Structure formats: C-alpha cells, structure tokens
Amino acid sequence: MYLKRCGPVKSKKEQVYWELVESYRTERGPRQRVVAYLGDINRAEGEGIKRAAEGKKGYWQARLFDAEGEPEWVEVDTKRVKVGRVRDFGGYWLGLEILDRLELTSFLEETIPHGREDIEWSVMSLSLILWRLCEPSSELHMVEHLYDKSPVGELLGIPDEKMNDNRLYRSLDNLLPHKEALEKHLKERLGQLFNLEYDLLLYDVTSTYFEGEAAGNEQAKRGYSRDHRPDCKQVCIALVVSREGLPLGYEVFDGNRHDSTTVEDIVTKIESQYGRSERIWVMDRGMLSEDNMEFLQSKKRRYIIGTPKSQLKHFEQELLSGEWEKIREGMEVKSCKSPDGDETFILCRSADRAQKEKAIHERFEKRIERGLQKIAESCRKRKQKVGIIERRVGRLLGANTRAAGLFNIKVREDKAGKTTISWTKEEAWREWAELSEGYYMLRTNITDWQAGDLWEAYIQLTQAETAFRIQKSDLKIRPIWHQKEDRVKAHILVCFLAYVLWKMLGQMCKRAGLGTEPRKVFDEIAQIKVVDVLLPTKQGTIITRRCISQPTKAQATLLQRLNIHLPEYMKPYNL
C-alpha cells in the first residue's frame, strides 16, 4: 500500500487530499484500488499514515489513528465546544486487533477473488464477523440500526451509501466457498500462536432452529431439539475442538440426523484436511454404536467414549467391590479390562452426581404417582375407554422416563364395563437405580494411560459444550432467519469465525494472567467510546475531531496486560 496525493501537484495550499492505495496483480497486469479516502489532512498526518501504510498489510485503519508529526495549534472558542455523535468503539476495535493477530484480514483479502465490486468482499466479510462478535443480529438490522451506532464504516473504510443488506447477503455467498481454507488457516495460526498440539479432539453435536418454514432448505427438518423447540425445523451442527476449546472444524447436517450417524463423516473430514496422526477422539455416549466402534477400530484410531448407563449392569460386581482411585474430592475411578484385553472400561463414581440423580428419581416418581392418581380419579368419575387410558399412561411415562421403569401399570375393563387402572412398584428396579446413582462408564482402547488421566481427558468434552453455549447465548447463532441452504451455512460460518475470535481473546487473557473466560474483559473494553468533538475556531470554521474516550483505570490495566495499544483519535472520512 502507498499514499497517493490528490489535486494539483503544485498546489500552494497547506492542506492536501490523500488516498490510501493498494497495488495488486491481475491477469491483465498490475492494478490499483483505493483502500480509503483520507480526506483533507496536513503533511505531518500524511507522513504518519504513509509510514503506517508501509507496515502491516490489511484494509482496516486502526494503525492510522495515532497522531504523528508536529502538533498543530489553533485558537478555539471553548464556550462553544460541543460533542457530536457518541458510538461504541472498544469491542469493534478489539475484534479487529484479534483479526489482525490471526492474520484473517490479509488471508481473506488474498483468498476471496476480486471482481468489479465497489467494496471488496473480504472487507464486507470482516464487517459481518465484527457485528456477530459485538452486537449479533440479522443483516437487515445491522444495516438499518447498527451501522450508524458502530464505527465499522470508519474502521473498514466502507462509505455510508455502500452499506446495504443486499451487499451483506452477497458477502455471505462469497465467503462460504472458502470454509475449508479458513479452517486450515485458523488451525495453523492458532497452533503457532499458542503451541497447540491437537492431540486430543473433542467432538459433539448440537442443533439450532429456524424461524419460518425454510422450505428452500433440504437440510431443515424436525428432529430432537436441544433448544426445546420441537415445533420448528432445525439443522444439526457437529463441532470438533481442541482440549483448549479452540475449534478445528465443523459440519452442518440434516435436522433429523442422529448423532451417532455423523461420526464417520466428521472423522473422515478431519483426517482428509489435516492428515492422520495419533489423535485421540473424545465423544459422549450419544455417539456410541457398533458401526462407529468398528469404524474407529478398523484403522486403530484411538478413542475415549461415554457408554449408556445400561451397560453398567455388566459391571455390577465391580461397582460393589475393589479399590477405587480418588481423583479429587467426591470423584473416584476404577479401570476394568475387557475380556480380550483390547479395551479398557473406566468406572466413574461421583458424589455430586449421585445426589443429583437421587433427587431426579424422587421428583419423577412423585410426578408419575400424581399423574396416575389423576387418571384413576377420572376413571372413577365416568366411564372411559381402555385405549384412551392406555394412551394417557403412555404420555405420562414418556414425559417422566427417568422413573418410568419403577412402575408396573395395568389397565383393565371390569365386569361392569368400567375401565380401572392399578399399579405396583418394581423394587428390583429401585434397588438397581439406588446402586447405580452417581456412576457412569467410559470406553477406550488406550491401554497405557492411568484411569485418572483418561477421565481427565473425557471431562475436557465440556469444552465442546461450552462452545455451543457461547455460540447460542453470546453470538446468537439461533434462531436462523435465512431460508436458503447456502445462506444458512454461511451464517453458521460467520458465527464460527466470531467464536474463534472469542476463544483467541480467551487465550490472550490466559497468557496475560487474566483467567480463561474473556466475557468480562471484552465487556469492559467494549465500553470505550468514540466521540465527535466540534471545535469552533477564531477564523469561524469548525474543526471536527473523532476522539477515543480515555480508558478508565480498569480498562487501561486490561489493555496493558493484553499488550494492546489504544489509538488516540480517529480521522472522520467525510471531512
């Protein structure tokens, strides 16, 4: 990039006009494009911008804000100094800092093809990522309500008249084809920054629902809803993260796809992108199936998988006898070899989980009893059909499955043609439930690890669950308003990239000794504002300076610990 002067070369005016221009190669030879119009600035500022332009490659202008050169002195009427627009600044600027450290600005610039568009698609993609991180909303809401309240236009050099929802939608279309390249770039870059090994891969699946019919999207189907919206169509999102929660990749599946049927697709995808190595796959019990076990074992892939609680029945004697290894207060484990010696089963016993499951069993037992009493009362009051009562009982048990096995229910028709209902409790079921409360089991083919280490690795699966929670709460991946399949995938890609920024900030906080949860740090820095200060001069003109608010003591401390330099002011593009 270089600085280009506009206007007559021999102009004697002290103020000159400048453009920040970038050269790039095309099939028809070298071309130039204007990155930003820097307006009417003096020579000292121009030299400062020139030096910045010769530094880091990228569109955004954060490094062009600090004052350079000799100071300027003018006489100002202090009685008529006014404050103009006040807008959010800290979150967007911090997001751009993180994008720059991830080298995503230059990567998108080089990867997304350039055409005849007025604003590069890479720049528009950055705006989508920043809004998703700072104030997630629909593209239409971004244009109509958020654009004027945010500094995105100045930070990225997007003129007001060029920002519209159609351009944002088309940016989604141009970003989606580069999903795999983005995943590879981020994996390598994050690995370089934080010395990640990616030896432990955590895999989980969630769902997100649609508002509307989504008739044009073949993947939108009704299925098991983690969002408790079975009335809406949905898609399933399968995510792979490292032990630190940093994502490697994801895939979008049909909304009615069972978790266990996605394992082979995801493992094959990761191996095709990054090659096969001694990775360990960690999955919950919903992924377990005989087909998946055969697939994982076929090429000696290593795994740690949760098992259904029903499989504890095979280890009843081990639950009652033997020594347990205490990992921490209230948590114990024990390893048991499989008959062929190829696998190890890890029995886990949690005191907190035992109390929780006991309370759940008691609560569901009471619900079923109350429901059965209501059904019996209705049978006594009036004549009922056996089929109707059986369906009512089925719905009651289906809504309270955690204690359904305790009850043995009989629905009959007596000699008078009246339907009766009776029930007894299976004490054998209760005894097993009380014995197994707080217990669960893991399955692995790793034979050279201690039971405690295997349990610690499995518990890291909460990182994937945390990723889904952040995307749904902080980044608002749900509900999805797009109706076209590719737009839906592009929306999820933008949320994925915003989540990478979130986790990158978490790693920066961890390195700075600020913990691993970036929420409070981001919220604090996001309170920094940009303010238009109007300065009436003695000559009758008004000087506008777009100033960054001074950070508070807490904000300054955070910025210092994160090793981030806050710019001094912004130069308005329209002056």
Instruction: List per-residue pLDDT tens for the chain, 575 residues long.
Output: 555 666 554 444 444 556 667 776 666 666 677 776 655 555 444 544 554 555 444 334 444 455 555 677 888 888 999 998 899 999 999 999 999 999 999 999 999 998 888 899 999 999 999 999 999 999 999 998 888 889 998 888 888 888 999 999 999 999 999 999 999 999 999 999 998 888 899 999 999 999 988 988 999 999 999 999 999 999 999 999 998 899 999 999 999 999 999 999 999 999 999 988 788 999 999 999 999 999 999 888 999 999 998 888 888 888 887 789 999 999 999 998 887 778 999 999 999 999 999 999 999 999 999 999 999 999 998 888 999 999 999 999 999 999 999 999 999 988 888 899 999 999 999 999 999 999 999 999 998 899 999 999 999 999 999 999 999 999 999 999 999 999 999 999 999 999 999 999 999 999 999 888 899 999 999 999 999 899 998 888 888 888 899 999 999 999 999 999 888 776 543 32
Tell me how far apart the alpha carbons of residues 220 and 216 are, in angstroms, rounded to a whole number: 9
The CATH class of 180-303+450-511 is alpha beta
Which two three-digit tokens encode residue 530? 């940009």
DSSP state of 145: I
Please enumerate in sequence order all residues whose Cβ is within 8 A of that of 452, keeping only pairs 6 or more positions apart, or say none.
Answer: 325, 327, 333
Instruction: Give 563's Cβ-side CA count (13 Å radius).
Output: 7
105, 469, 472, 499 alpha-carbon torsion, rounded to 10°? 0
Tell me how far apart the alpha carbons of residues 81 and 96 are, in angstroms, rounded to a whole number: 31
Tell me how far apart the alpha carbons of residues 95 and 165 are, in angstroms, rounded to a whole number: 22
Which residue from 186, 38, 167, 58 is spatially nearest to 110, judged by alpha carbons?
Answer: 58
Which two three-digit tokens encode residue 326? 């205490």
- pLDDT at position 70 is 67
Q: Buried (b) or exposed (e) across 520-549, using 16+ Cβ within 10 A?
A: ebbebbbebebbbeebbeeeeeeeeebbbe
Do residues 85 and 68 make contact, with C-beta atoms less than 8 angstroms apart? no
Do residues 334 and 323 make contact, with C-beta atoms less than 8 angstroms apart? yes
Longest dimension (CA), the chain: 113
Q: Buried (b) or exposed (e) across 263-277, using 16+ Cβ within 10 A?
A: beebbebbeeebeee
| Contacts for 257-264: CB closer than 8 Å, 24+ residues apart | 257/223, 259/205, 259/286, 259/287, 260/286, 260/287, 260/288, 260/289, 260/291, 260/292, 262/205, 262/236, 262/238, 262/287, 263/203, 263/287, 263/289, 263/292, 263/295, 263/296, 264/291, 264/292, 264/295
DSSP state of 278: S
Tell me how far apart the alpha carbons of residues 413 and 416 are, in angstroms, rounded to a whole number: 8
Please enumerate in sequence order all residues whose Cβ is within 8 A of that of 7, keeping only pairs 6 or more positions apart, or say none.
Answer: 16, 17
Tell me how far apart the alpha carbons of residues 93 and 99 are, in angstroms, rounded to a whole number: 10
Which two three-digit tokens encode residue 265? 């697709």
Peptide bond into 536 cis (omega under 30): no
How many C-beta atoms surround the C-beta of residue 82 within 10 A? 11
Domain boundaries, the chain: 1-55, 180-303+450-511, 353-436
Do residues 521 and 514 make contact, with C-beta atoms less than 8 angstroms apart? yes
Which two three-digit tokens encode residue 204? 């989980």
